[in-house]
Homo-oligomer: A and B are copies of this chain.
């Protein structure tokens, strides 16, 4: 079953609102084997909506419209639908009774706009809305389905989950889709692509590999379309196995998680607590670690020694070292780890110092040169990064690579466990 998502709203075209509804719908439909083949966003103009609806109904098995149903908007969507199916808008007493009950309960008066919400295209099957006043609508005819939903995200999601998805799952002809998404860190997209060149050429037609890159990370998504489910599952597992064989521990997890959550999980399993000592990253490593709910179970805190004097007073970097090697150097990040391990009584630590840019570079220490260190009291590993000229990118990439370096360090030290953390 091929679907079109049709989003209605000037605020989306103007860039005032991010269209997260379509993102959520893409995931939800894909999970039940419905492929979103296209997304279209149009303005609140009747002609635009009708044009897109004509196109979608003809080309796709399923059209899901969001937006343009609610008490403050012109209910232009319903007019477009009624005109498309050549039916009248009829008053729906049951919906009106429900709205009256809701407003009685919250002791507020209804408005004329609420009454108008109860006019529906005559051929609509209503999908009750547990979260708001405007119900969703279901239209089915000649092998095509049209679903119209309010644009408010939690109302849209509620109607989908409670009403629309159970109905869709009963439709014949759903093509099963199987996915596995392998999450890698520390390798570039092109590096991965060149190592998977032969592999990709060996993939059968019905299996696809997609690269989803972000700073310092690439998600590799294997998808199998159609066919017998147990066979497809086995195929996907086989090809995933080959990717594991190629990249080993560069793959940190699968599916819907993050590097910071995976590192957190690893720390928890080992009972290790973590501290950080940051210079050029200015809190980005700490921020990433603490974006994980429950990070207080393994993360102690950080010294951000942006000023060099603090590297000395807070982290024990000797002024002679700073003078001889400079703040962006291997001995300094090494001492930053040692210093914060000692001051914070931490099991393991991460540090970073570099030239984030865009200014401040020199011939010996150009913009993008960044030293990171990870380790414990007995073994500290350091690494020099050579990144680009973009400040934000350098900071975020360093945070990702430093966290990944800690992960690899922990994996290389299977014997090391900590005593945990207690608050």
Whether B27 contacts A14 by the Cβ 8 Å rule is: yes
Whether B291 contacts A300 by the Cβ 8 Å rule is: no
C-alpha spacing A387/B106, complex, angstroms: 7
C-alpha spacing A160/B282, complex, angstroms: 28
> Is A194 an interface position by the 8 A CB rule?
yes
User: B residues within 8 A CB of A416?
Assistant: none
C-alpha spacing A369/B117, complex, angstroms: 26
Whether A14 contacts B40 by the Cβ 8 Å rule is: no
> Is A234 an interface position by the 8 A CB rule?
no
User: B residues within 8 A CB of A208?
Assistant: 10
Chain A interface bracket (under 10, 10 to 19, 20 to 34, 35 or more): 35 or more
The 8 Å CB contact of A26, one of B14, B35, B38, B107, is B14
Q: Which of A56-83 contact B (CB under 8 A)?
A: 70-74
The 8 Å CB contact of A306, one of B290, B368, B387, is B290
| Secondary structure call for the A interface | mixed
Whether A190 contacts B114 by the Cβ 8 Å rule is: yes
Whether A210 contacts B291 by the Cβ 8 Å rule is: no
Given contacts A286-B282, A359-B294, A393-B131, contact A16 B10 (CB under 8 A): no
Whether A210 contacts B42 by the Cβ 8 Å rule is: no
CB distance from A296 to the nearest CB of B (A): 6
Among all A-B residue pairs, the 10 with the closest Cβ atoms: A282-B290, A15-B26, A283-B286, A283-B283, A15-B27, A39-B41, A71-B190, A302-B304, A283-B287, A111-B194
